[in-house]
Structure formats: C-alpha cells, structure tokens
C-alpha cells in the first residue's frame, strides 16, 4: 500500500498493488549459476568471461617468458661436464678422501670387514662385494676414447686410460681375493675432484715410512715414474706391527697419467690392491694407510674397534670342548683392522 497526501479522502489517497514474490533458496542458487534474464553464468556474461580469459592468458604467458629467460641465463653459466666452482673455490677443496672396498652392504655392520675363513658363505659374501666394486673395470673397455697410458704417454683431451686388472697381482677372483685365507685384499681409491692434479714427491723424504722410501729409491727408474700418489700401510703401534708380516701393493701408487680428472666419458678411477700378508688371527690390530703427495700426509686410521674395517678368523680356543658352544659368538673370533 502506498499512501499519498491529497485533499480527497481526508487528505490521504491509497494505491493498491501486488506484493513481489520472494525467491526460494534453490531459485536464488540456480539464478547465481545461470541468469536467463541477463544470460550470465556465475555473474559474468560470455563477453566478460572472454575478456577475463584473454587477460590471464597474456599475464601467465609473460610470467612464463620471464621465467624461461631467467633460467636460460642461469644455464648459460653452467656446464654439463664441468662444475662451476672447482678446487680451492669449491666446498670439496683440493684434498681427496682415501676410500676402501669392500664395505658391507648391511648398514648395521658399518664399514667392518669380518669373516670366518672356514665358512664358505662368509667368503662368498666378500667376494661378491669385491666383484660388484670391480664390475665397471671388468666391463669391456673398448670405447673410442680408451688408450693405453704410461708415464711417457699421457692421454690427450677427451681420452681416458685403460685399466688393467691383471696388474692387481694376487688380488683376483681365482684366489677369492685372499678371503679364503689369512691374506685378504683391500682395494683403495681416491675420491674424484674435478681438475685436481697432485703435487708429487719426486724424491724420498724423511717423514715417509721406510718401506715407501725404499720402494721409491729402488723401484722407480725415471723422474716420470716418481710422479705417483704413493700409498703405505702399517700398524698403528708395535703390537699391531708384530702381528702383521707386511703388505703387498698392486701397485704402490696412483699413477700421474690418471690426473687431472676431467669427467670424460668412460673414465675409471685408478685403484690399488693391498694384500695383507699373513695376519695373526688371534690378535686385534690397528693399521693405518697413508697417501703421499707434497700436501701433508692424508692419514686414515682404520680404528677397527670403532668399525672402519675388520677381518675375523676362528680362534684356537673355539675347538676346545668347553668352548664349542661359543664358536658362533663374537668372543670366539678375532678382529683385525686394515
């Protein structure tokens, strides 16, 4: 009802009209989705939706182009084969770590090497681990960039040196790498550092072990042959030295023609096989390995009780009747650190 002030009807006039019908919630919802009156969907007409899509298409295309330009600029400063920061400029530095194999594939065993040399299962386990480590070296090395290197013939750019496993002497699969006896073999390698070239000792120095000085003075004929990263192993204390007759090296140094490492295809790091000669199985030993360049000695103490490497064999007391039931226990085996 609308009331209008006038002279008629006492100064007021009434107008009658029909009340607007209120929409239900469902009708309101349907209208929000599609309004037939304006032909809009979700509050926008077709033209409005088209303008919005064009705007965002251009917006995200510009963002993608800016991102692509930034990434291309970044990749332009990087190489697929060479790290951006090398040697002293890198976090790795210029002192490569000395690693050894085999290492147990069971995490709980750490880096201990331990076995019963009368147990074929134990022997096979370590032989299998060594074979896995040597698998790339056993593969056919016939790539176009493989060359036979020596101290007088360095590989050219893009070439890598052929690695001959027959040079590892007694440390071969036919002899179970020594794990079927008391002269096991440990394989040493240096971690790869791009562009690193050792600073070689060209003459024996007083701080070198005696056996290493003797080897350099008597087994290297030319100045080029002296350019090696030498390796020497020995017991940490007198007791350790008494219970290890010695070590054989195949060879005793990492040859210079393997360096510098340039990440060329098919490159294989040089390895040294160290044969431990006649361990005294009833004793626990600690031995250390050193690599020698003109940098301070890189010394790695094997610290076997803490889990670097260990070799075990049955103690004689395990054959005694009173101790037979203990032969599978830890105390019936001796650990030796290499």
pLDDT digit string (tens) for 178-190? Answer: 998 888 999 999 9
| Poorest-pLDDT segment among 166-175, 231-240, 244-253 | 231-240
Residue 214 pLDDT grade (very low, low, confident, very high; cuts 50, 70, 90): confident
Burial level of 207, CB count in 10 A (0-12/13-18/19+)?
Answer: exposed
Please write the tens of the pLDDT for every residue from 66-98.
999 999 999 888 888 888 888 988 888 888 999
Structure tokens at 112: 């201990």
Kindly list the distances between the CA atom of residue 101 and the CA atoms of 154, 193, 256, in Å, as whole numbers in the listed order.
28, 19, 22
182, 188, 168: which is closest to 115 by C-alpha? 182
246, 132, 258, 140: which is closest to 192 by C-alpha? 258
CA 66-68-71 angle, 5° bins: 110
CATH topology of domain 96-336: Immunoglobulin-like (2.60.40)
Task: Say if residues 19 and 25 touch (Cβ distance below 8 Å).
Answer: no
Query: What is the three-class DSSP state of 228?
Result: strand
The alpha carbons of the chain give a radius of gyration, in whole angstroms, of 39
């Amino acid at each position: 009802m609308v009331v209008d002030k006038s002279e008629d009807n006492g100064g007021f006039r009434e107008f009658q009209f029909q009340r607007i019908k209120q929409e239900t919630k469902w009708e309101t919802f349907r209208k929000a989705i599609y309004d037939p009156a304006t032909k809009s969907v979700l509050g926008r007409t077709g033209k409005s939706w088209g303008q919005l899509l064009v705007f965002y298409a251009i917006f995200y295309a510009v963002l993608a182009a800016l991102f692509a330009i930034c990434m291309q600029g970044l990749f332009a400063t990087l190489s697929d084969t060479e790290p951006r920061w090398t040697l002293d400029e890198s976090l790795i530095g210029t002192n490569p770590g000395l690693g050894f194999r085999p290492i147990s594939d069971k995490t709980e065993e750490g880096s201990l090497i331990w076995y019963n040399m009368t147990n074929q299962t134990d022997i096979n386990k370590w032989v299998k681990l060594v074979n896995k480590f040597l698998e790339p070296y056993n593969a056919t090395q016939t790539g176009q960039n493989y060359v036979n290197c020596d101290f007088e013939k360095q590989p050219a750019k893009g070439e890598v040196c052929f690695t001959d496993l027959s040079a590892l002497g007694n440390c071969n699969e036919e002899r179970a790498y020594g794990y079927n006896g008391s002269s096991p073999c440990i394989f040493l390698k240096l971690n790869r550092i791009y562009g690193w070239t050792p600073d070689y000792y060209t003459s024996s120095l007083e701080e070198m072990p005696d056996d290493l000085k003797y080897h350099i003075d008597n087994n290297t004929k030319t100045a080029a042959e002296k350019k090696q990263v030498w390796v020497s192993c020995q017991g940490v204390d007198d007791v350790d030295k008494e219970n290890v007759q010695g070590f054989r090296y195949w060879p005793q140094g990492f040859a210079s023609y393997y360096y510098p490492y340039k990440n060329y295809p098919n490159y294989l790091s040089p390895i040294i096989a160290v044969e431990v000669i006649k361990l005294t199985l009833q004793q626990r030993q600690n031995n250390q390995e050193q690599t020698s360049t003109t940098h301070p000695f890189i010394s790695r103490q094997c610290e076997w009780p803490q889990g670097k490497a260990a070799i075990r064999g049955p103690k004689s007391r395990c054959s005694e009747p009173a101790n037979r039931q203990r032969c599978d226990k830890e105390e019936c085996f001796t650990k030796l650190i290499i």
